[in-house]
Amino acid sequence: MLALVGRDGAGPHDLVRMMRAQGGLYWTAAESQWYAEPKRLEGLGLLRSTRRPGRTTSRAHYELTDEGRAALREWLGRPSSLPRMQHEALVRVLAADLGRDEDVLGSLVSLQEDVAAKRELLAAAKERAATLPHRERHLHLVHRLGDLLLDAHEQWLDEVEQELSQP
């Protein structure tokens, strides 16, 4: 959250827009979290809010405090680990011996469509990266991982289809 608020600040509506734009490729959470979490972080002294004009009413706009910047810098130095994953398609393939392969293959069509939709979102995100010169090279690295994740899913789906299509 602190990273998304970033250098220029952001309102909860901005955070939701950013999360929708990446389509859950890198991070998933309920939209309500993107409205509640800035308030919690403000309570901890990591963000401060001001009111800015909105379309119909004023909106909260959050900025990092000095404590928030320090916490973010400290977090950046912590060890990273593999992401948590809940891969429903993988579990279906795992359980295919308990059902029919053709049913599992049919269930994977939506994943193929989702990968294609994420490719479109990723292409749009790559275009927007140029509008953020202070983050452009970092966004390039993030989007490269997005490409690799989508490539891996496509390759895996091809392999599953090839294997489960055999009698």
In this prediction, residue 25 carries a pLDDT of: 86
In this prediction, residue 20 carries a pLDDT of: 86
Q: What global pTM score does this model have?
A: 0.84
Residue 114 pLDDT exceeds 90: yes
Residue 81 pLDDT exceeds 90: yes
Residue 22 pLDDT exceeds 90: no
Segment 21-26 mean pLDDT: 85
- Please give the Cα distance from 90 to 153 (Å, whole number): 10
Residue 85 Cα to chain centre, angstroms: 13
- Please give the Cα distance from 33 to 165 (Å, whole number): 41
Residue 29 pLDDT exceeds 90: no
Residue 43's alpha-carbon distances to 48, 49, 68, in angstroms, are: 9, 10, 11
- Please give the Cα distance from 139 to 128 (Å, whole number): 10
- Helices (H) then strands (E): counts for the chain: 8, 2
Segment 54-68 mean pLDDT: 92
In this prediction, residue 54 carries a pLDDT of: 83
